[in-house]
Amino acid sequence: MSGLMVDGEDYRAELGPRRYRVRGLTRNADAAVLKVGLRLTVGGAGGEFFHQDTVDLCQAKQRSAFVAAAAEATRADAEAIRADLGTLLDWCEIAVESHRRAAAAPKGAERPPLSAEDEAAGRAFLTTPHLLDRIAADYDACGVVGDAAPKLVSYLCAVSRKLEQPLAVLTMAPSAAGKTSLQDGTLAFVPEEDRLCLSAMTGQALHYIEEDLSHRVLAIAEEEGASRAAYSLKLLQSEGKLSLAVPVKDPESGQITTRIREVRGPVALFLTTTAAQIDEELANRCIVLTVDESAEQTALVHQAQRERETLGGLMQRSRAAAIRRLHQNAQRLLEPVAIVNPYARFLSFRADRPRTRRDHMKYLSLIRAITYLHQHQRPRHVVQVEGREVVYIEVALEDIAAANALAAAILGRSLDELAPQTRALLGHLHRLVTARAATEGRQRATVRFTRREIREAIGWSPDQVDIHLARLERLEYVCAHHGGQGARYVYELIYDGQGQAGEAFVMGLAEVATIAAQAAAPTAATSASEGSTPDLRAGSDSVPWGVRVGSVGADREPEDGAIPDIVVIDPDGDDGEAPGGISNGAASSYHTHDVTPGSAAQRLAIGGEA
């Protein structure tokens, strides 16, 4: 128990008629050295007397010198002063240690409480139909005009900060193109306590940062300002944390010891750059965005700039502030929740280069971010794993459709980049591979063909085939494989028929219609005994034994703050209790269904009655 009272940066204590002021205590690294400015004041009949000196309270010789001088100056009893210094030493040790622990703890801005009105508005926003369209419109209302795709990808990257594997965005554009406006517009939607914005960073700065970076947005104004910290940023993005071993001198023994400094992530990283060449290892960890530099986009920017000078612009700035506050409050309402993709096994991605291993994870993270943003529009499910209940939501087909559309807009290409004859050869190859796959009953990705087979199928000369096939290979529509027969090569068609109407597309992504058809096929549901991932969704016919599955219906209105009905399948036949992983009220009703071991679980409607 400490009797020190905090007075600004000083500490004060009263021991009988003697009053002490301790200055500079927190400048001591630990309690091994307590060098302070100590002032003793004593009041008496003849007025107040004081003595002040700099003293290390841990040094007995310095304490004795202070006692003698203070007793003479203040006319106080020397033994009383000596006892006071012993008490002050104990209190100062406690204060320094508390200050050291507080300084070592990660710091983060506190989340402000939400009023009932702000919470209601945030929930209404998160349940808005066509939420992504609403977000794009809000960017326009806040002055960030133009193509919606880069804005939505930036927004989803910011939202993904709360996921286990957040996204990272690197915006590349020449000076004055609007890359900073896009980044600043996105960051304005993020709550202040969840973002850290820096102009530049030295090489070791991240290792010594006192801020808690866990699940926050880390934004650096220019990639050049972070070039010396590129290694740290790459590790933080990939590993989710940083660890640094630093030598430290022990103040007691004088020995050099090693102390581990750890910075916890993960973070959603935002960078901008004007450079044409950047660190490739950092870039392939990011979704690289570009800014529209067309004359049409410049005209839109000019129009928005002129509009801001009008009376309507003045009013719009006030509305923009309200929109930003709405987005910040809405993001504060996004809760940690697991995400399950029941269509994951039906997705596809090009696999012709090792880099696509990382690109594939970005694609999956983009889908997860879309689902996470829509969590208030998705039913919640509960599954018991290793004795604890896990709440999760599922990816919907519209989430995959949105991710595919954004990927096409950001990463896509158009067949218009091909010369007419090269495009004609691509069409011939598409029909050739499609026909062979159907005839041989195999997947398109397993079909291989040679140049001779191309010539025989379409009747072109060897020179024509060589020229245009080389172009398709250079543009990565076709991938060459060594055939294993001398110098003979065989080819794989990466392109699978998209973009024939001129729209942008990304090769290798499965169409949503195809995914839906495969998921609905009778062979899609594979039993757990065959080694595939069991289907744990409520209402599934393949629920394994011993698994309790629940579902919180999002389409039913809760009453008096209670969550909607929960349906639980309990193979043990025991009476269940409401899952503890669901917040915002108790379950309005809770039903348990007995399932006979070995039989298929009966299908239950989400949120339905027993």
The pLDDT confidence band at residue 386, using thresholds 50, 70 and 90, is confident
| Same domain flag for 431 and 577 | no
When pLDDT is cut at 50, 70 and 90, the band that residue 37 belongs to is very high
pTM tops 0.75: no
Q: Does 94 reside within a domain? A: yes
Does residue 267 sit in the same domain as residue 302? yes
Confidence of residue 11 (pLDDT cuts 50, 70, 90): very high
Alpha-carbon distance of 575 to 250, in angstroms, equals 59
For residue 237, being part of any structural domain is answered with: yes
Compute the distance between CA of residue 310 and CA of residue 278 in angstroms, rounded to an integer. 41
Same domain for 130 and 228, yes or no, is yes
Report how far apart, in Å, the C-alpha atoms of 365 and of each of 8, 217, 250, 395 are.
Answer: 47, 16, 45, 11
Quote the pLDDT of residue 112: 79
582 and 451 within one domain: no
Residue 576: which residues within 8 A CB-CB, separation 6 or more?
Answer: 548, 568, 570, 590, 592
Tokens of 233: 């940023």
CATH number at residue 246: 3.40.50.300
Residue 573: domain span: 375-393+520-594
Query: Which of the two residues, 528 and 42, has the higher pLDDT score?
Result: 42
CB-based contact 365:286 (threshold 8 Å): no
Whether residue 537 sits in one domain with residue 476: no
How many domains does the chain divide into?
4
pLDDT band at 108 (very low <50, low <70, confident <90, very high): low
Residue 530 has pLDDT above 70, yes or no: no
Instruction: Write down the H helix ranges in 334-450.
Output: 356-373, 397-411, 420-440
What is the per-residue burial (b if ≥16 Cβ within 10 Å, else e) of 254-265?
eeeeeeeeebeb
DSSP string computed for 162-206: GSSS--EEEEE--TTSSHHHHHHHHHTTS-GGGEEEES---TTGG
As a whole number of angstroms, the distance between CA 308 and CA 103 comes to 45
User: Residue 261 has which token pair?
Assistant: 């400094």
Domain boundary (478, 505, 532) is at: 505
Between CA 35 and CA 598 the distance in angstroms is: 75
SS3 content of the chain, % helix, strand, coil (to 5): 40, 20, 40
CA distance 479 to 604: 47
Question: Which CATH number do you get for residue 445?
Answer: 1.10.10.10
7 pLDDT more than 70: yes
- 270: Cβ–Cβ under 8 A, 6 or more apart, which residues? 154, 157, 158, 168, 169, 171, 183, 186, 187, 217, 218, 219, 220
Q: Flag whether 344 is in a domain.
A: no
In angstroms, rounded to a whole number, what is the distance separating the alpha carbons of residues 506 and 73?
85
Tell whether 562 is covered by a domain. Answer: yes
Q: How many helices (H) and strands (E) would you count in the chain?
A: 16, 20
Q: Provide the mean pLDDT of the chain.
A: 80
pLDDT score for 580: 37
Same domain, 450 and 493: yes
Residues 6+ apart with CB under 8 A from 406: 149, 152, 153, 156, 366
Q: Which tokens go with 608?
A: 């339905």
Same domain, 90 and 125: no
Percent of the chain with pLDDT over 70: 80
Residue 336 is classified by DSSP as: P
Q: Structure tokens of 1?
A: 């128990």
Least confident interval from 72-81, 311-320, 572-581: 572-581
CA gap 178, 274 in Å, rounded: 11
State the first-to-last Cα distance of the chain, in angstroms, to the nearest integer: 58
Is the residue at 369 inside a domain? no
Indicate if the pLDDT at residue 585 is higher than 70: no
> Is there a domain that residue 323 lies in?
yes
More confident site: 2 or 555 = 2
In degrees and rounded to multiples of 5, residue 518 shows phi and psi of -65, -40
20: pLDDT strictly greater than 80? yes
Distances (CA, A) of 115 to 18, 379, 560: 49, 26, 18
Main-chain phi, psi angles of 419, to 5 degrees: -65, 155
Could you tell me if 571 and 447 lie in one domain?
no
Per-residue pLDDT averaged across 313-327, rounded? Answer: 93
Residue 340 lies in a domain: no
Q: Are 363 and 402 in contact (CB under 8 A)?
A: no
558 plus 589 within the same structural domain = yes
pLDDT digits (tens, 9 = 90+) for 244-301: 888 887 766 678 888 888 888 899 999 988 876 777 787 888 898 888 888 888 899 8
Q: Report whether 495 contacts 477 (CB < 8 A).
A: yes
- Shared domain for 69 and 196, answered yes or no, is no
More confident site: 415 or 467: 467
Model pLDDT for residues 535-559, shown as the tens digit of each residue: 444 334 433 333 333 434 444 343 4
Question: Does the pLDDT of residue 591 top 90, yes or no?
Answer: no
Tokens of 534: 């069991």
Alpha carbon dihedral 531, 533, 537, 541, in 10-degree steps, equals -20
Q: Are residues 160 and 92 in the same domain?
A: no
Same domain, 264 and 152: yes
Is the Cβ–Cβ distance between 380 and 582 less than 8 Å? yes
Domain stops at, among 473, 505, 537: 505
pLDDT of residue 333: 96
Q: Domain for residue 368, yes or no?
A: no
The predicted structure's pLDDT at residue 502 = 74
CB 218 within 8 A of CB 269: yes
CA dist 272 and 301 (Å) reads: 19
Asked if residue 562 has pLDDT above 80, the reply is no
Look-up of token digits 């880099």: 355
